[in-house]
A and B are shown apart, each in its own frame.
Chain A
Protein backbone atom coordinates (compact mmCIF):
# COMPACT_ATOMS: atom_id res chain seq x y z
CA UNK A 1 0.00 0.00 0.00
CA UNK A 2 1.33 3.43 -0.89
CA UNK A 3 1.87 5.39 2.35
CA UNK A 4 2.04 8.81 0.67
CA UNK A 5 -1.71 9.51 0.43
CA UNK A 6 -2.11 8.49 4.07
CA UNK A 7 0.67 10.80 5.14
CA UNK A 8 -0.76 13.62 3.02
CA UNK A 9 -4.22 13.19 4.49
CA UNK A 10 -2.80 13.00 7.97
CA UNK A 11 -0.75 16.14 7.55
CA UNK A 12 -3.69 17.99 6.12
CA UNK A 13 -5.84 16.95 9.05
CA UNK A 14 -3.12 18.03 11.47
CA UNK A 15 -2.78 21.44 9.83
CA UNK A 16 -6.54 21.98 9.89
CA UNK A 17 -6.68 21.00 13.54
CA UNK A 18 -3.90 23.39 14.44
CA UNK A 19 -5.55 26.24 12.46
CA UNK A 20 -8.87 25.64 14.18
CA UNK A 21 -7.21 25.38 17.55
CA UNK A 22 -5.53 28.75 17.05
CA UNK A 23 -8.96 30.42 17.05
CA UNK A 24 -10.85 28.14 19.37
CA UNK A 25 -12.53 29.84 22.31
CA UNK A 26 -12.05 33.31 20.84
CA UNK A 27 -14.88 35.81 20.09
CA UNK A 28 -16.18 37.03 16.73
CA UNK A 29 -13.53 39.81 16.39
CA UNK A 30 -10.52 37.56 16.09
CA UNK A 31 -10.42 37.42 12.29
CA UNK A 32 -9.68 40.51 10.25
CA UNK A 33 -12.55 41.25 7.93
CA UNK A 34 -14.31 44.16 6.30
CA UNK A 35 -17.97 43.85 7.19
CA UNK A 36 -19.51 46.82 5.35
CA UNK A 37 -21.20 46.59 1.98
CA UNK A 38 -20.70 49.13 -0.80
CA UNK A 39 -23.71 51.25 0.16
CA UNK A 40 -22.60 51.42 3.78
CA UNK A 41 -19.06 52.32 2.72
CA UNK A 42 -20.39 55.12 0.50
CA UNK A 43 -22.24 56.57 3.48
CA UNK A 44 -19.35 56.14 5.90
CA UNK A 45 -16.82 57.99 3.76
CA UNK A 46 -19.04 61.08 3.82
CA UNK A 47 -18.07 61.48 7.49
CA UNK A 48 -14.74 63.01 6.65
CA UNK A 49 -12.09 64.06 5.99
CA UNK A 50 -10.73 65.00 9.37
CA UNK A 51 -9.42 67.41 10.49
CA UNK A 52 -11.32 69.98 8.44
CA UNK A 53 -9.59 72.79 6.62
CA UNK A 54 -9.28 75.63 9.10
CA UNK A 55 -11.51 78.55 8.16
CA UNK A 56 -11.75 81.95 9.74
CA UNK A 57 -15.00 83.64 10.71
CA UNK A 58 -15.65 86.63 8.41
CA UNK A 59 -17.87 88.22 11.06
CA UNK A 60 -14.92 88.32 13.48
CA UNK A 61 -12.12 90.54 12.22
CA UNK A 62 -9.58 88.91 14.59
CA UNK A 63 -10.48 85.31 13.77
CA UNK A 64 -7.29 83.46 12.94
CA UNK A 65 -5.12 86.25 14.36
CA UNK A 66 -2.44 84.62 16.52
CA UNK A 67 -2.18 87.59 18.88
CA UNK A 68 -5.96 87.53 19.33
CA UNK A 69 -5.80 83.81 20.04
CA UNK A 70 -3.25 84.45 22.79
CA UNK A 71 -5.26 87.33 24.23
CA UNK A 72 -8.43 85.25 24.11
CA UNK A 73 -6.78 82.36 25.87
CA UNK A 74 -5.50 84.72 28.55
CA UNK A 75 -8.99 86.14 29.13
CA UNK A 76 -10.66 82.72 28.96
CA UNK A 77 -8.97 81.73 32.23
CA UNK A 78 -9.36 85.11 33.97
CA UNK A 79 -11.63 84.98 37.03
CA UNK A 80 -11.81 88.78 37.20
CA UNK A 81 -14.48 88.51 34.48
CA UNK A 82 -17.07 87.54 37.05
CA UNK A 83 -19.02 89.40 39.69
CA UNK A 84 -17.54 87.34 42.53
CA UNK A 85 -14.03 87.18 41.10
CA UNK A 86 -14.06 83.37 41.23
CA UNK A 87 -15.52 82.24 37.93
CA UNK A 88 -13.82 82.22 34.59
CA UNK A 89 -15.02 80.77 31.28
CA UNK A 90 -12.77 77.84 32.08
CA UNK A 91 -14.73 77.13 35.25
CA UNK A 92 -17.48 75.54 33.16
CA UNK A 93 -15.40 74.86 30.06
CA UNK A 94 -12.57 73.02 31.78
CA UNK A 95 -9.92 71.72 29.35
CA UNK A 96 -9.27 68.77 31.65
CA UNK A 97 -12.93 67.79 31.47
CA UNK A 98 -13.35 67.91 27.71
CA UNK A 99 -14.00 71.66 27.84
CA UNK A 100 -17.14 71.03 29.88
CA UNK A 101 -17.60 70.69 33.64
CA UNK A 102 -18.65 67.06 33.93
CA UNK A 103 -21.98 68.04 35.47
CA UNK A 104 -25.51 67.39 34.29
CA UNK A 105 -26.43 71.08 34.37
CA UNK A 106 -24.21 74.11 34.17
CA UNK A 107 -23.63 76.32 37.16
CA UNK A 108 -22.12 79.76 37.40
CA UNK A 109 -23.38 82.18 40.02
CA UNK A 110 -26.60 80.14 39.82
CA UNK A 111 -27.48 76.67 38.56
CA UNK A 112 -28.78 76.66 35.02
CA UNK A 113 -31.17 74.40 33.15
CA UNK A 114 -28.91 73.00 30.49
CA UNK A 115 -25.77 70.93 30.18
CA UNK A 116 -22.48 72.76 29.48
CA UNK A 117 -21.60 72.20 25.85
CA UNK A 118 -18.07 71.16 25.02
CA UNK A 119 -15.89 73.57 23.05
CA UNK A 120 -14.36 70.83 20.93
CA UNK A 121 -14.60 71.71 17.23
CA UNK A 122 -16.90 74.72 17.74
CA UNK A 123 -15.37 76.53 14.80
CA UNK A 124 -17.58 76.34 11.74
CA UNK A 125 -20.86 75.84 13.57
CA UNK A 126 -23.85 77.60 12.12
CA UNK A 127 -25.60 78.03 15.48
CA UNK A 128 -24.40 78.16 19.06
CA UNK A 129 -26.08 77.10 22.26
CA UNK A 130 -28.51 74.24 22.78
CA UNK A 131 -31.30 76.44 21.40
CA UNK A 132 -29.19 78.17 18.78
CA UNK A 133 -29.83 81.59 20.25
CA UNK A 134 -26.53 82.83 18.86
CA UNK A 135 -25.25 82.79 15.31
CA UNK A 136 -21.55 83.28 15.91
CA UNK A 137 -18.98 82.00 18.36
CA UNK A 138 -18.16 85.51 19.54
CA UNK A 139 -21.81 86.33 20.21
CA UNK A 140 -22.09 83.06 22.14
CA UNK A 141 -19.08 84.12 24.22
CA UNK A 142 -20.72 87.38 25.30
CA UNK A 143 -23.75 85.83 26.98
CA UNK A 144 -22.11 84.08 29.94
CA UNK A 145 -19.93 87.10 30.73
CA UNK A 146 -22.92 89.41 31.14
CA UNK A 147 -25.58 86.94 32.30
CA UNK A 148 -26.24 87.53 36.00
CA UNK A 149 -26.76 83.79 36.48
CA UNK A 150 -23.37 82.89 35.04
CA UNK A 151 -20.47 85.33 35.42
CA UNK A 152 -22.58 88.43 35.98
CA UNK A 153 -20.05 91.13 35.15
CA UNK A 154 -20.97 94.51 33.67
CA UNK A 155 -19.47 96.13 30.54
CA UNK A 156 -17.99 98.85 32.75
CA UNK A 157 -16.21 96.20 34.78
CA UNK A 158 -14.82 94.54 31.64
CA UNK A 159 -13.59 97.95 30.45
CA UNK A 160 -11.92 98.63 33.79
CA UNK A 161 -10.06 95.31 33.68
CA UNK A 162 -8.69 95.98 30.22
CA UNK A 163 -7.77 99.59 30.94
CA UNK A 164 -6.13 99.01 34.30
CA UNK A 165 -4.12 95.87 33.59
CA UNK A 166 -0.98 97.02 31.70
CA UNK A 167 -0.39 93.61 30.09
CA UNK A 168 -3.96 93.25 28.89
CA UNK A 169 -4.02 96.87 27.73
CA UNK A 170 -0.91 96.34 25.61
CA UNK A 171 -2.18 93.05 24.20
CA UNK A 172 -5.54 94.58 23.35
CA UNK A 173 -3.87 97.47 21.57
CA UNK A 174 -1.68 95.08 19.58
CA UNK A 175 -4.69 93.08 18.42
CA UNK A 176 -7.25 95.80 17.79
CA UNK A 177 -4.96 98.66 16.83
CA UNK A 178 -6.32 101.09 19.38
CA UNK A 179 -6.27 101.66 23.11
CA UNK A 180 -9.14 100.28 25.23
CA UNK A 181 -9.34 103.78 26.71
CA UNK A 182 -10.84 104.95 23.41
CA UNK A 183 -13.51 102.28 23.14
CA UNK A 184 -16.95 102.15 24.71
CA UNK A 185 -17.44 99.48 27.37
CA UNK A 186 -19.88 97.39 25.33
CA UNK A 187 -17.56 97.54 22.33
CA UNK A 188 -14.81 96.23 24.60
CA UNK A 189 -17.05 93.35 25.69
CA UNK A 190 -17.54 92.42 22.05
CA UNK A 191 -13.81 92.66 21.39
CA UNK A 192 -13.08 90.45 24.40
CA UNK A 193 -15.57 87.92 23.06
CA UNK A 194 -14.02 88.04 19.60
CA UNK A 195 -10.60 87.32 21.08
CA UNK A 196 -12.01 84.44 23.07
CA UNK A 197 -13.71 83.13 19.95
CA UNK A 198 -10.37 83.26 18.09
CA UNK A 199 -8.92 81.10 20.86
CA UNK A 200 -11.83 78.66 20.96
CA UNK A 201 -11.54 78.14 17.20
CA UNK A 202 -8.20 76.43 17.87
CA UNK A 203 -9.77 73.70 20.04
CA UNK A 204 -9.85 70.93 17.47
CA UNK A 205 -9.80 67.20 18.18
CA UNK A 206 -7.30 64.88 16.59
CA UNK A 207 -7.68 61.99 14.21
CA UNK A 208 -9.40 58.93 15.53
CA UNK A 209 -9.42 55.24 14.68
CA UNK A 210 -12.62 55.93 12.75
CA UNK A 211 -10.85 58.56 10.65
CA UNK A 212 -8.10 56.11 9.78
CA UNK A 213 -10.74 53.54 8.86
CA UNK A 214 -12.66 56.05 6.77
CA UNK A 215 -9.56 57.21 4.93
CA UNK A 216 -8.54 53.60 4.26
CA UNK A 217 -11.96 53.03 2.69
CA UNK A 218 -11.48 56.11 0.51
CA UNK A 219 -8.10 54.79 -0.67
CA UNK A 220 -9.59 51.36 -1.25
CA UNK A 221 -7.03 49.98 1.24
CA UNK A 222 -8.98 47.01 2.51
CA UNK A 223 -6.04 45.69 4.51
CA UNK A 224 -5.74 48.90 6.54
CA UNK A 225 -9.52 49.16 6.91
CA UNK A 226 -9.59 45.72 8.48
CA UNK A 227 -7.65 47.07 11.45
CA UNK A 228 -10.83 48.81 12.60
CA UNK A 229 -12.49 46.59 15.21
CA UNK A 230 -15.35 44.51 13.93
CA UNK A 231 -17.63 45.64 16.75
CA UNK A 232 -17.14 49.24 15.64
CA UNK A 233 -17.71 48.20 12.03
CA UNK A 234 -21.04 46.62 12.98
CA UNK A 235 -21.86 49.77 14.93
CA UNK A 236 -21.00 51.91 11.91
CA UNK A 237 -23.30 49.81 9.74
CA UNK A 238 -26.13 50.35 12.22
CA UNK A 239 -25.33 54.06 12.39
CA UNK A 240 -25.80 54.59 8.65
CA UNK A 241 -28.35 51.84 8.20
CA UNK A 242 -31.21 50.80 10.45
CA UNK A 243 -30.34 53.41 13.07
CA UNK A 244 -30.57 56.29 10.56
CA UNK A 245 -28.36 58.27 12.94
CA UNK A 246 -26.71 59.82 9.91
CA UNK A 247 -29.88 61.74 9.03
CA UNK A 248 -28.94 64.34 11.64
CA UNK A 249 -25.39 63.38 12.59
CA UNK A 250 -23.90 64.07 9.18
CA UNK A 251 -20.52 64.98 7.79
CA UNK A 252 -17.09 65.12 9.34
CA UNK A 253 -18.33 66.62 12.61
CA UNK A 254 -21.27 64.23 12.83
CA UNK A 255 -23.83 67.00 13.10
CA UNK A 256 -25.94 69.00 10.67
CA UNK A 257 -25.79 71.94 13.09
CA UNK A 258 -29.58 71.99 13.19
CA UNK A 259 -32.12 71.05 15.80
CA UNK A 260 -34.41 68.20 16.61
CA UNK A 261 -36.60 66.76 19.31
CA UNK A 262 -34.90 63.63 20.60
CA UNK A 263 -37.62 62.74 23.08
CA UNK A 264 -35.73 64.08 26.09
CA UNK A 265 -38.14 65.75 28.53
CA UNK A 266 -37.98 69.52 28.45
CA UNK A 267 -39.65 70.26 31.78
CA UNK A 268 -37.13 72.05 33.96
CA UNK A 269 -39.18 72.28 37.12
CA UNK A 270 -42.74 72.61 38.38
CA UNK A 271 -44.59 74.65 35.79
CA UNK A 272 -41.41 75.42 33.87
CA UNK A 273 -40.68 74.33 30.32
CA UNK A 274 -37.56 74.72 28.23
CA UNK A 275 -38.92 75.76 24.84
CA UNK A 276 -35.63 75.04 23.13
CA UNK A 277 -35.17 76.23 19.57
CA UNK A 278 -38.53 78.02 19.57
CA UNK A 279 -37.33 80.48 22.19
CA UNK A 280 -33.82 80.38 20.80
CA UNK A 281 -34.98 81.88 17.53
CA UNK A 282 -36.82 84.62 19.38
CA UNK A 283 -33.70 85.45 21.36
CA UNK A 284 -31.57 85.30 18.24
CA UNK A 285 -33.74 87.72 16.30
CA UNK A 286 -33.78 90.26 19.13
CA UNK A 287 -30.08 90.07 19.96
CA UNK A 288 -28.00 93.18 19.21
CA UNK A 289 -25.06 90.83 18.68
CA UNK A 290 -26.56 88.76 15.88
CA UNK A 291 -25.16 88.64 12.37
CA UNK A 292 -27.59 91.30 11.19
CA UNK A 293 -26.25 93.84 13.66
CA UNK A 294 -23.47 96.38 13.62
CA UNK A 295 -20.93 94.18 15.37
CA UNK A 296 -20.71 91.81 12.39
CA UNK A 297 -17.39 92.56 10.66
CA UNK A 298 -18.22 90.72 7.42
CA UNK A 299 -18.57 92.92 4.32
CA UNK A 300 -22.25 93.75 3.79
CA UNK A 301 -22.98 91.34 6.64
CA UNK A 302 -23.10 88.60 4.06
CA UNK A 303 -22.94 85.96 6.79
CA UNK A 304 -26.36 87.01 8.06
CA UNK A 305 -28.61 85.04 5.73
CA UNK A 306 -29.33 82.15 8.16
CA UNK A 307 -30.49 84.59 10.81
CA UNK A 308 -32.52 86.55 8.30
CA UNK A 309 -34.18 83.48 6.82
CA UNK A 310 -34.48 81.02 9.70
CA UNK A 311 -38.06 79.75 9.87
CA UNK A 312 -39.91 80.02 13.13
CA UNK A 313 -42.64 77.43 13.28
CA UNK A 314 -44.44 75.25 15.74
CA UNK A 315 -42.21 72.22 15.35
CA UNK A 316 -39.20 74.09 16.75
CA UNK A 317 -40.77 73.90 20.20
CA UNK A 318 -38.70 71.54 22.36
CA UNK A 319 -36.03 71.05 19.74
CA UNK A 320 -32.39 71.21 20.80
CA UNK A 321 -29.13 71.30 18.91
CA UNK A 322 -27.88 68.13 17.27
CA UNK A 323 -24.50 67.78 19.00
CA UNK A 324 -21.31 66.63 17.35
CA UNK A 325 -20.42 63.04 18.18
CA UNK A 326 -16.66 63.62 18.25
CA UNK A 327 -14.76 63.17 21.53
CA UNK A 328 -17.87 62.03 23.41
CA UNK A 329 -15.76 59.90 25.74
CA UNK A 330 -14.67 63.14 27.43
CA UNK A 331 -17.93 65.09 27.53
CA UNK A 332 -20.38 63.09 29.66
CA UNK A 333 -23.13 63.48 30.69
CA UNK A 334 -25.20 63.85 27.55
CA UNK A 335 -28.26 65.55 26.01
CA UNK A 336 -29.39 69.13 26.54
CA UNK A 337 -30.10 68.58 30.21
CA UNK A 338 -27.28 66.16 30.96
CA UNK A 339 -29.81 63.50 31.89
CA UNK A 340 -28.00 60.57 30.25
CA UNK A 341 -24.83 59.65 32.09
CA UNK A 342 -23.11 57.23 29.72
CA UNK A 343 -22.94 56.46 26.03
CA UNK A 344 -24.77 53.22 26.73
CA UNK A 345 -27.57 55.26 28.31
CA UNK A 346 -27.79 57.29 25.10
CA UNK A 347 -28.00 54.16 22.99
CA UNK A 348 -30.65 52.69 25.27
CA UNK A 349 -32.61 55.95 25.02
CA UNK A 350 -32.80 55.68 21.24
CA UNK A 351 -33.37 51.93 21.36
CA UNK A 352 -36.44 52.37 23.54
CA UNK A 353 -37.49 55.89 22.57
CA UNK A 354 -40.95 56.93 23.67
CA UNK A 355 -42.60 58.47 20.62
CA UNK A 356 -45.30 60.03 22.77
CA UNK A 357 -42.64 62.34 24.20
CA UNK A 358 -41.72 63.70 20.79
CA UNK A 359 -43.27 67.01 19.82
CA UNK A 360 -42.70 66.54 16.14
CA UNK A 361 -45.77 67.92 14.41
CA UNK A 362 -46.03 64.69 12.51
CA UNK A 363 -42.41 64.51 11.43
CA UNK A 364 -41.42 60.85 11.20
CA UNK A 365 -37.73 60.47 11.89
CA UNK A 366 -37.08 58.79 15.21
CA UNK A 367 -38.55 55.43 16.11
CA UNK A 368 -37.60 52.76 18.68
CA UNK A 369 -34.64 50.78 17.37
CA UNK A 370 -35.20 47.78 19.68
CA UNK A 371 -31.50 46.92 19.61
CA UNK A 372 -30.12 43.61 20.79
CA UNK A 373 -27.47 43.58 23.51
CA UNK A 374 -24.73 43.02 20.93
CA UNK A 375 -26.05 45.79 18.68
CA UNK A 376 -26.03 48.20 21.59
CA UNK A 377 -22.44 47.28 22.40
CA UNK A 378 -21.48 47.69 18.76
CA UNK A 379 -22.96 51.19 18.58
CA UNK A 380 -21.11 52.18 21.73
CA UNK A 381 -17.89 50.81 20.22
CA UNK A 382 -18.50 52.88 17.11
CA UNK A 383 -19.17 56.06 19.10
CA UNK A 384 -16.06 55.50 21.17
CA UNK A 385 -14.03 55.21 17.99
CA UNK A 386 -14.94 58.84 17.21
CA UNK A 387 -12.81 59.94 20.17
CA UNK A 388 -9.07 60.17 20.59
CA UNK A 389 -7.63 58.67 23.76
CA UNK A 390 -5.24 61.57 24.29
CA UNK A 391 -7.12 63.26 27.09
CA UNK A 392 -7.25 60.16 29.28
Chain B
Protein backbone atom coordinates (compact mmCIF):
# COMPACT_ATOMS: atom_id res chain seq x y z
CA UNK B 1 0.00 0.00 0.00
CA UNK B 2 2.82 2.36 0.88
CA UNK B 3 4.55 1.54 -2.37
CA UNK B 4 1.33 2.22 -4.26
CA UNK B 5 0.90 5.55 -2.49
CA UNK B 6 4.46 6.53 -3.29
CA UNK B 7 3.99 5.49 -6.88
CA UNK B 8 0.83 7.58 -7.10
CA UNK B 9 2.60 10.59 -5.60
CA UNK B 10 5.43 10.28 -8.09
CA UNK B 11 2.98 10.06 -10.98
CA UNK B 12 1.15 13.09 -9.64
CA UNK B 13 4.45 14.93 -9.41
CA UNK B 14 5.33 14.04 -12.98
CA UNK B 15 1.95 15.16 -14.26
CA UNK B 16 2.04 18.56 -12.53
CA UNK B 17 5.74 19.23 -13.18
CA UNK B 18 6.39 19.78 -9.51
CA UNK B 19 8.51 17.64 -7.25
CA UNK B 20 6.27 15.39 -5.32
CA UNK B 21 8.03 16.08 -2.07
CA UNK B 22 6.05 19.10 -0.68
CA UNK B 23 3.41 21.70 -1.59
CA UNK B 24 4.64 24.81 -3.36
CA UNK B 25 5.63 27.72 -1.14
CA UNK B 26 4.22 31.20 -1.76
CA UNK B 27 7.63 32.21 -3.08
CA UNK B 28 7.71 29.37 -5.58
CA UNK B 29 4.21 30.23 -6.73
CA UNK B 30 5.50 33.61 -7.91
CA UNK B 31 7.76 31.86 -10.40
CA UNK B 32 5.18 31.28 -13.08
CA UNK B 33 6.76 30.49 -16.43
CA UNK B 34 6.21 33.30 -18.89
CA UNK B 35 5.48 35.92 -16.24
CA UNK B 36 8.75 37.72 -16.70
CA UNK B 37 11.91 37.62 -18.74
CA UNK B 38 14.20 34.78 -17.72
CA UNK B 39 17.67 36.19 -17.40
CA UNK B 40 20.69 34.37 -18.77
CA UNK B 41 23.25 32.89 -16.45
CA UNK B 42 26.48 30.99 -16.82
CA UNK B 43 27.73 28.10 -14.80
CA UNK B 44 25.90 26.14 -12.17
CA UNK B 45 23.58 28.82 -10.88
CA UNK B 46 21.16 27.26 -8.37
CA UNK B 47 18.46 29.79 -9.14
CA UNK B 48 16.69 31.17 -12.16
CA UNK B 49 15.95 34.88 -12.18
CA UNK B 50 12.91 36.49 -13.75
CA UNK B 51 12.81 40.14 -14.64
CA UNK B 52 9.61 42.15 -15.05
CA UNK B 53 9.92 45.65 -16.46
CA UNK B 54 7.48 48.48 -15.97
CA UNK B 55 6.73 49.66 -18.56
CA UNK B 56 7.48 46.67 -20.81
CA UNK B 57 9.27 48.86 -23.34
CA UNK B 58 12.18 50.47 -21.56
CA UNK B 59 11.89 54.23 -22.13
CA UNK B 60 14.87 56.29 -23.19
CA UNK B 61 16.11 58.80 -20.62
CA UNK B 62 13.13 58.42 -18.32
CA UNK B 63 12.91 56.49 -15.03
CA UNK B 64 11.35 53.02 -15.03
CA UNK B 65 10.99 50.14 -12.58
CA UNK B 66 11.73 46.44 -12.45
CA UNK B 67 10.73 43.48 -10.32
CA UNK B 68 13.28 40.72 -9.85
CA UNK B 69 12.03 37.30 -8.84
CA UNK B 70 14.38 34.53 -7.76
CA UNK B 71 13.10 31.05 -8.53
CA UNK B 72 14.31 28.04 -6.58
CA UNK B 73 13.08 24.48 -6.42
CA UNK B 74 14.66 24.10 -3.00
CA UNK B 75 13.08 27.20 -1.47
CA UNK B 76 16.48 28.61 -0.72
CA UNK B 77 17.31 32.09 -1.84
CA UNK B 78 20.36 34.36 -2.05
CA UNK B 79 21.24 36.34 1.03
CA UNK B 80 21.67 39.47 -1.00
CA UNK B 81 20.93 40.78 -4.46
CA UNK B 82 22.34 43.64 -6.48
CA UNK B 83 21.32 45.07 -9.82
CA UNK B 84 23.31 47.18 -12.23
CA UNK B 85 23.25 47.97 -15.94
CA UNK B 86 25.88 48.88 -18.50
CA UNK B 87 26.20 49.68 -22.18
CA UNK B 88 28.64 47.01 -23.42
CA UNK B 89 29.48 48.89 -26.63
CA UNK B 90 30.40 52.06 -24.76
CA UNK B 91 31.75 50.50 -21.59
CA UNK B 92 29.91 52.75 -19.21
CA UNK B 93 27.15 52.31 -16.68
CA UNK B 94 24.22 54.30 -15.43
CA UNK B 95 24.36 57.80 -14.06
CA UNK B 96 21.98 56.90 -11.23
CA UNK B 97 22.06 54.18 -8.62
CA UNK B 98 18.59 52.57 -8.67
CA UNK B 99 16.86 52.03 -5.35
CA UNK B 100 16.25 48.37 -4.48
CA UNK B 101 13.82 47.06 -1.90
CA UNK B 102 13.22 43.47 -0.83
CA UNK B 103 9.48 42.89 -0.93
CA UNK B 104 9.41 39.17 -0.27
CA UNK B 105 11.70 36.20 0.33
CA UNK B 106 12.42 35.97 -3.36
CA UNK B 107 11.31 39.28 -4.84
CA UNK B 108 12.88 42.67 -5.10
CA UNK B 109 11.54 45.88 -6.56
CA UNK B 110 13.97 48.20 -8.26
CA UNK B 111 12.97 51.80 -8.90
CA UNK B 112 14.23 54.83 -10.77
CA UNK B 113 16.37 52.94 -13.24
CA UNK B 114 17.35 55.32 -16.02
CA UNK B 115 19.05 54.56 -19.32
CA UNK B 116 20.33 57.88 -20.64
CA UNK B 117 21.48 56.78 -24.10
CA UNK B 118 19.92 54.85 -26.96
CA UNK B 119 21.44 51.47 -27.76
CA UNK B 120 22.01 48.09 -26.15
CA UNK B 121 21.86 48.06 -22.35
CA UNK B 122 22.69 45.00 -20.30
CA UNK B 123 20.89 44.37 -17.02
CA UNK B 124 23.19 42.61 -14.55
CA UNK B 125 21.79 40.92 -11.47
CA UNK B 126 24.24 39.56 -8.92
CA UNK B 127 22.91 36.99 -6.46
CA UNK B 128 25.08 36.38 -3.42
CA UNK B 129 24.82 32.79 -2.22
CA UNK B 130 26.31 31.26 0.91
CA UNK B 131 29.57 30.31 -0.75
CA UNK B 132 29.33 31.64 -4.26
CA UNK B 133 28.14 34.60 -6.34
CA UNK B 134 26.04 34.09 -9.44
CA UNK B 135 25.46 36.58 -12.21
CA UNK B 136 22.52 36.96 -14.54
CA UNK B 137 22.16 39.18 -17.56
CA UNK B 138 19.56 40.42 -19.99
CA UNK B 139 20.04 42.81 -22.89
CA UNK B 140 17.55 45.30 -24.24
CA UNK B 141 17.77 47.71 -27.17
CA UNK B 142 16.60 51.14 -26.04
CA UNK B 143 15.42 53.46 -28.81
Q: Is the CB of A250 within 8 A of B112?
A: no
**Range of interface residues on B (Cβ < 8 Å):** 20 to 34
CA distance A248 to B93 in the complex (A): 14
Q: Which of B60, B91, B93, B98 contacts A309 (CB 8 A)?
A: B98
Q: Is the CB of B92 within 8 A of A250?
A: no
| A53 interface contact, C-beta 8 A | no
Q: What 1/0 flags go to A36-47 for Cβ under 8 Å of B?
A: 000000000010
| A256 interface contact, C-beta 8 A | yes
- Shortest distance from the beta carbon of B87 to any chain A beta carbon, whole Å: 8
Q: Is the CB of A309 within 8 A of B97?
A: yes
Give the interface SS of chain B, mostly helix, strand, loop or mixed. loop
| A22 interface contact, C-beta 8 A | no
Q: Is the CB of B117 within 8 A of A248?
A: yes
CA distance A364 to B98 in the complex (A): 23
| A363 interface contact, C-beta 8 A | yes
Q: Is the CB of B61 within 8 A of A256?
A: yes
Q: Is the CB of A365 within 8 A of B90?
A: yes
Q: Is the CB of A315 within 8 A of B118?
A: no
Instruction: Give residues of chain B (99-121) contacting chain A, Cβ–Cβ below 8 Å.
Output: 99, 111-112, 116-119
Give the interface SS of chain A, mostly helix, strand, loop or mixed. loop
| A7 interface contact, C-beta 8 A | no
Instruction: Give residues of chain A (284-337) contacting chain B, Cβ–Cβ below 8 Å.
Output: 305-306, 308-311, 315
- Shortest distance from the beta carbon of B63 to any chain A beta carbon, whole Å: 7
CA distance A308 to B97 in the complex (A): 9
Q: Which of A250, A311, A363 contacts B60 (CB 8 A)?
A: A250
Q: What 1/0 flags go to B56-78 for Cβ under 8 Å of A?
A: 00001101000000000000000
Tell me which residues across on chain A come within 8 A of B60, comparing CB atoms: 250-251
| B27 interface contact, C-beta 8 A | no
Q: What 1/0 flags go to A360-379 for Cβ under 8 Å of B?
A: 11111100000000000000
Tell me which residues across on chain B come within 8 A of A308, comparing CB atoms: 99
- A to B CB contacts below 8 Å, 20 in the list: A246-B118, A247-B117, A248-B117, A250-B60, A250-B61, A250-B118, A251-B61, A256-B61, A257-B61, A258-B61, A305-B111, A305-B112, A308-B99, A309-B97, A311-B93, A311-B96, A315-B92, A361-B92, A363-B92, A365-B92
